[in-house]
Structures are given as structure tokens and as C-alpha cells.
Chains A and B, each alone.
Chain A
Amino acid sequence: MPTKKENNKNASIKDRKCNNKNGITAWERVEIARNSNRKTALDYIKIIFDEFIELHGDRLFKDDKATVCGLARIGNQNFTVIAQQKGRNTKENIERNFGMPNPESYRKAIRLMKQAEKFNRPIVTFVDTKGAYPGIGAEERGQGEAIARSMFEMAKLTVPIIVVVIGEGSSGGALAITIGNKIIMLENAIYSILSPEGYASIVWKDSSRAKEAAEVMKLTAKDLYDFKIVDKIIKEDKEFEDVALKIKSEIKKELKELQKLSSKELVEQRYDKFRNIGEYETYSKKV
């Protein structure tokens, strides 16, 4: 168990390293993002919001605890919160399936995001997952459909959506709740097409080359910022509470800007953000 003093900090390899951003490798960030002492969504929610009431269930099959949803408030502003939640100990991890969502997570998120639209509430999502759960039941109940539908419904929402990537953002399981107007990412969070192990195993047929994979995958906050996917990086050079409060002020700031847009403009802004991802050159050879 971490000591009380450590509890006050987010997971990091060494403070010295964290303060020296040039000295930290992509793999080290992977290790920080995955560290079992790293703060989880509920830790952030507790500090960022003045109030939070959890709402359960997808109304179709069950309540998947790998995602926490609910109503929240900052000052006079109400929010709908969708958060991928890892466990903070073994018991919690089993209950929350190690933060790996089944389809019901996405269907719960869709239900509550549509409700947010009905009551004109902005949405904040917290991304932190190794990926959607690869299991028999998940496939039987349409994991692919659930992820696709979540993106599809988010893309249409007429309320502001702010995404905060706090830990691991891996594969379609993370992307499903990333279709936001603004994406904020913590300095030591990662976001990738797949885990570095999975990547190395597919591309090089050797999962032991994960470390190497992490360096080429461009999965750090800085990489995503350079690709214009992430809009804002939040430094993790202070105590955990300070970092959480920094997220809070960013949410307030971004929301203020987004609230200047009409419903139609919000949808368009989100469309343009994702429509323009991908760079090409002309293919000259005749095929």
C-alpha cells in the first residue's frame, strides 16, 4: 500500500525524472500511465466536481462497472460525466474488470450522453482503459457495435463534449468515448492504437519488443498534440490535487469557449476535428 505521502502524488517513476521532460522515454510514460498507484477517474471526479451522483445501468442488460457515469456540478454548471474506471485495489479491479469495458459500458454511456443532450448539459468523459474487454460474452453482445454506436451517437450530440485522457487510452475501447469537441491529455497519459505489447506482437511477431514499440508508436501526449488530436496537455509536475484542479480550470475555460457555439456549430466543430485527421501525399505511380 502506498504511504500517506505517496497517496498525495500521482504515480511517477521518479520526481526528478518527471521534472525533466526531455529525459523521460515513451516507455517510461507507458509505465507511469499503467502504474497501479496512478490516480483513477473517481479520484479526479472527487476533486474536480463540487457534487457527483452516480447513475447505473444500460437499461438493456446490466451495469458494467468498468465505466462510471453520473451527474455532476461545478458551481452553477451541471454536467454529465462518463468515466472509465480502473480498480484501486485487487477487489475493485475484479469488480471493475480491470477497467476493460464490456459492451454495456458503452450502452450506459450512450444512454446518459443522450440524456445530457435532452437536458442540454455539457459532457465530460475520462479515458483510462487498456482496451475493450476481449471475451466471449463481449462478442456475443456486440462489442464492435457498441463502440461504433457510441462514436456515432457522440458525433451527433448538440452539447459540448470535453474529453480528458488521464491514464491509458488504448484502442477502440478508448476511442468510443473520445469523440469530443476538445481533448485534454495529462502529460504522462498515453493514447494508442493498441498496447505496445500487442503492437510488437502484430508488427514484429514479438511481444517482448514492447519497449521498442512504445518509442515508435507516437503514443505520448506530445505526439498526439503534434498530430492535432489533443488540444491541450496538462503538466503533472505538481501534487495530484493541483493537477486535478488544473484539469478543472481547463474544463471551465474550454466550456466557456464552447458555449459560445450554437448546437449546430458544436456538431460541425467536432466533425471538422475528426474529418481532418490523416495526412496524405499524392500517389503518383499509375496502378
Chain B
Amino acid sequence: MSGTRPINCIIPPYILDKLLDSENSEVRQAALDTMLLTARLRGERAIRSSFTGAAAPGDGRRTVFDCEQEEFLRNAVLARPEDGPESTDPAVNRAFDALGLTRDFYKEVFQRNSVDGQGMRLDGYVHFGFKVNNAFWDGRQMLFGDGDGQEFSNLTGSLEVISHELTHGVTDHTSGFVYHNQSGALNESMSDVFGSLVKQWSLKQRAEEADWLIGADVWTPGIGGDALRSMKDPGRAYNNPQFGKDPQPDRMSRFIHLPDTKRGDFGGVHFNSGIPNKAFYLTAVRIGGFAWEAAGTIWYEALKASSAEDQFQDFATTTFQKAGELFGAGGPEQAAVLSAWQEVEVPIRGVPTGVARIRSFAANGSGGAGREDGLAALARQIGTLNDKVTQLAKDVAELKGTR
């Protein structure tokens, strides 16, 4: 028998039993959708954790290297180790400080020990290539170009760009969102969300005070007031003759379909990330206060509970479930999550559209309190079913273990 199949195969009879229990067709559908989702998540997570490699020691020790405008990491020169003195090169120090802030953010806010949760060392390479207009994560380390001074200035000049890249590592080690189409756009969005949160956290900004921009300090240095992306206003980050207008959509009806190729940005992962980005922004401002506290925790827990192929609707549903688990079903946090996804036109599985609409009004401060009990009850039912599926998945795993 294959190692992965039993969990997925054993669920349907149980679901059928439960479906027969409920008299309400919407609850039956909610249960079905949620249980299918949850069962898949648990299965994926269990499988992935069994493949986890050896821990990389070091508590996120930083090392910054200087590529001296070449592309070859093996030729790069050590510029600043964790315990070393400040460099005379500001790019080295900016990268060093931003890696530290990102590491400290994950540690203090989410009790996560570095990128992999196991203290993985953080290596950053500055001055990558000749005037390279890019910063990227190569699967193990971060690389920062100097920019050409027109499209970008030195890429180490933006804290949220650095924490964006590092968060790609976090996503690789959690959900592993596949870097194509919707799951790829979720991957991109996670990097923008936590990238922006690192900046807000470092400045102790409340959600309503933050600019919610990505790369404002490094994008088109000759043009003021613009940014690479806006989480608050996707599609309005920049507008200039050279690069045109920011093409990011802010809702599903504006979703951009691009080919799943390098030239098509793997199905527009840097385009459609605008949709989940906006959902996070709306959630954060509707909850209010520090975005990394409630909204950030909901998103982080949802990221850890997600699986690689998840689509927008899957992730939206997971955030809704996590908001209920963490802050109470039917509470203001869960209502904020629901209304945010509703506004970007991503439905939550198992929540009838009518309920979502009423709750949106409630979250927007236009009433609807009378329906709160209905949603709370529905959310509780979904939560109970989830717990049972989780227990079942555990039982199956134990059964497999005893063979």
C-alpha cells in the first residue's frame, strides 16, 4: 500500500455519514467542503514533515557577502559575519540589519526560529551582478542587485523587499505554495504581507498608519511617491511613461490570465498577488491596531496550515477557520476576514454568500448584528467537524505507524 493514499481514501465514507446527519443543505455543503479541504491539508502536512531534512543550526546567524558586481557566489567576499564589526559599505550594513529585523520579527511575533523554524543561517549577497534590477531568493540565500538607478536603486534600500525575499524561504518551509498561477500568487502575497509586517513592526505602526507599499524606497528613484506594489490599492502603485501603469488586480473579476511560463510570470504570480494582498490589508484595517497581532497571526497560522496547491478560495477558507479558532467563531476578527475576502470577490467555502454579505455589512459598521448567531453557529459546526477530521487523520497516522 502506498504511504500517502490511505488518509485521502478513508475520509469519504465519514463525510458521507456526517452529511446524512445534517438537515440543513448549506451546512451539509459547508461540512463537505471544509472536511475535504482539511483532510487534504492534514495529509499533505503529515507527508511533508516526514521528508524534513536535518536541522540547520545557528539560530539564524547572519552572514553578508559582497559579490563585487559578479554573479558568482563562490567568488563572493565575506563582508560582515554575525559577530563582525560594521562594514564601511552601507549596502552590507543595510542587508545585515534587515536580515536581523526579519529574523527578530519571526522570533518575537510568531516564535519562529529563522526561515525554516530550526535556526537556519541567513546568508545575504549584495552587489550581485552589474547594475542588476532585482533581488531574489535562490532557494537557500538572498541576493541583491545594485539597480541601474532608473528602474531601481540599490535593492538593499528597502526593508520590506529584504523581508519579502526571506519570507519566500518561510513559505518554502511551510505551505510550500507552488510557484505557478493562484498558488504562486499566494506565495508572492505571503512575501508582501510579511514583508510589510516586518516594516510596520519595526516602526511600531498601526494598520491605519502604515503605507502598505512595497519597495517605495527603491523603485524608480527618479520618481517620487510611487512604489512597486500597493497592498492598500493594487493597480495604483505607479504610473509613469517608462513602466506604464501598475497592472495588479484588486479583485477576482479583474484576475489576470497569463501563460504559465517564465515570460508569463508563471501565470502572473506578481500580478494576481494583488488580490490576496488587498484581502490582508482590508482584514488588518478592519480589525485595527497592530496588523501583525491579530491579522498577522491569522495569516501566519493559515500559511502553516495550507498546502502546496491551494488556490485563493482554499486559503481564504483557511484564514476564516483560523480566525474562528484563534479569536472565536463569529467574532469581529472572523467577520473582518470574511468581509475582506468578500470585497475582493473570493468566496469562503461553506459560508453561504448571503451570510457573507450580511457579515460584511456588520464588519463595515452598518449593522447586521442580528445575524451574528447564525454565522457563529455555522462556524462552530465547521470547527467541530474539523476537529473530528483532525482526530481521524491522527488515528490513521497512528495506525500506519503500528504496521
Q: Do A and B bind each other?
A: no
